Amino acid sequence: MKRQFLTYILVVIFGMFSNFVQAERSDAHGHDEPAIVEEGHEVNEEIHEVEHDFDPGGTAMHHINDANVYSIGPVSIPLPCIVYVKGEGLKIFSSGKFEPGHHGNGHYAIDNFVLNGGALNRVSDASFPTGKIAVKKFGHKVIEIEKEAKDGSITTTEKDVSTVVLEDGSEFVLEAKSTLDGGLFGGGMTSWYDFSLTKNVVSMILVFIFLTWVFFTIKKAYKRNEGNAPSGIQSFVEPIFAFIQDEVSKPILGHKWEKYQPFLMSLFFFILGLNLFGQIPFFGNSNVTGHISVTIALALFTALVVNLSGNKHYWQHVFWMPGVPAFVKVILTPVEMLGVILKPLTLFIRLFGNIAAGHMVIVIFVALIFIFGNSGHSVPGSIAGVALSVPLTMFMMALELLVAFLQAFVFTILTAVYIGAAIEEHH
């Protein structure tokens, strides 16, 4: 029985990985295309020689990134895309139209949009044909961007960009969606915004529906069972409720704890639900709380609740700390004002870093099989890789389970601490 089960798991694992390998080989085909020179660009193009070896870092990135398709194993579930293109307005369509294959690469380009690695990309080049166009492959190349400074000197910077190659061999530079990092992390404003129900949004909606159902059931149980000892699912969550109530809210928030309890519990269970949802094996492994947009949004709620409930003493401590000499106040005030921003900043970076890193490490541990097995060319290497990868991945997943609870708890308790500092009565 046990042996059968083990065999089954091995078959599943190898089955999954054979998809990987096939995909790599098919991608490796036809990559000896001649250099295509694009005209009308201020850039100087040059085909970048792509390494054909397995790229664990890139794979890890691909797996933690958001996507416009929901992939469960080899199945890609299309998701609705809602995009806003500057000058063209709002467009709504399904990502199924691109007919995504392995790694979410769409086989067709539709009205300047393509599906590259699961993510929607746009070609802003005016010469790109509209309508449904067959895509040959996706690639990338290094372009040189010339920038003219104010004094007339020209500086050139090299940039690695994704491209799409059509059946006729023409290559176009892809534009990712607009991001608010100001180019700091390679993003920035582009010609379009993506408001799609992406994999992360869909995961959030699923978790939202599940949690709403669970907690409304529990609420009914509390109504039905009023004044009696908890039973059933109540007994499972009541220790968590009691823990947040007695160890977090009451000691930190004092007599006002009840006012903030729904917010703290919502935060805790929303983060915990998303953390755990991302860890269900073979279920998309969406990295929701490991995406900085999500954690920024959550930390924004914390910042709003903290600063909107801050009393006179809190603001006095921020702007003009009482009881210290004037010259110290001059130093303290900028520090305290910085602290108002830094508190939520640390919150979202901590949660994002922990969850994203956990997802990446798991992918990289699984990738050990391909590194050792030379992408399927060496079977003994693969076996060694499995022997190393399975225990490491299992350990990592157990650790991530702990981290899921820990980070949800840390986010909640720090939120409570910040609120507690903001509503503290004068002593």
Partner 1 sequence: MIILSTFDVLKPDPGLFFWTILIFLLFWILVGKFAFKPITGAIKKREEDIQSALDEARKAKTEMESLKSSNEALLQEAREERGKILREAKELKDSIVGEAQNQAKTEASKILADAKVEIESQKNAALAELKNEVGKISLEIAEKVLNRELDSGKNHEDYVASLVDQIKLN
Binding residues for partner 1 restricted to 142-201, rule: CB under 8 A: 160, 162, 176-181, 185-187, 193-198, 200-201
Q: Which is nearer to partner 1, 179 or 389 (CB)?
A: 179
CA distance 59 to 107: 20
Bridge partners for 171 per DSSP: 165
Applying CB under 8 A, does 226 fall inside the site for partner 1? yes
Residue 120 CA, chain-centre distance (Å), reads 15
Among 133, 296, 306, 318, binds partner 1 (CB under 8 A): 296
Among 241, 283, 314, 315, binds partner 1 (CB under 8 A): 241
Minimum distance between the CB of residue 251 and partner 1, rounded to whole angstroms? 16
Kindly identify the residues of this chain, within the stretch 253-282, that bind partner 1 according to CB under 8 A: 258, 261-263, 265-266, 269-270
Kindly identify the residues of this chain, within the stretch 326-355, that bind partner 1 according to CB under 8 A: 352
Minimum distance between the CB of residue 90 and partner 1, rounded to whole angstroms? 12
Contacts with partner 1 by CB under 8 A: the residue count is: 83
Among 45, 47, 59, 415, binds partner 1 (CB under 8 A): 59
Minimum distance between the CB of residue 323 and partner 1, rounded to whole angstroms? 37
Q: Which is nearer to partner 1, 271 or 318 (CB)?
A: 271
Applying CB under 8 A, does 245 fall inside the site for partner 1? yes
Task: Mark 96-135 with x for binding to partner 1 (rule: CB under 8 A) and - for no binding.
Answer: -------x-------------x-x----------------
Q: Which is nearer to partner 1, 81 or 318 (CB)?
A: 81
Among 127, 156, 212, 311, binds partner 1 (CB under 8 A): 212
Go through the chain and tell me how many residues it has.
427
Applying CB under 8 A, does 211 fall inside the site for partner 1? yes
Q: Which is nearer to partner 1, 200 or 389 (CB)?
A: 200
Minimum distance between the CB of residue 175 and partner 1, rounded to whole angstroms? 13
Q: Which is nearer to partner 1, 10 or 159 (CB)?
A: 159
Among the residue ranges 60-68, 151-159, 335-343, 387-395, the one whose residues contact partner 1 (CB under 8 A): 60-68
Among 64, 173, 347, 404, binds partner 1 (CB under 8 A): 64
Applying CB under 8 A, does 28 fall inside the site for partner 1? yes
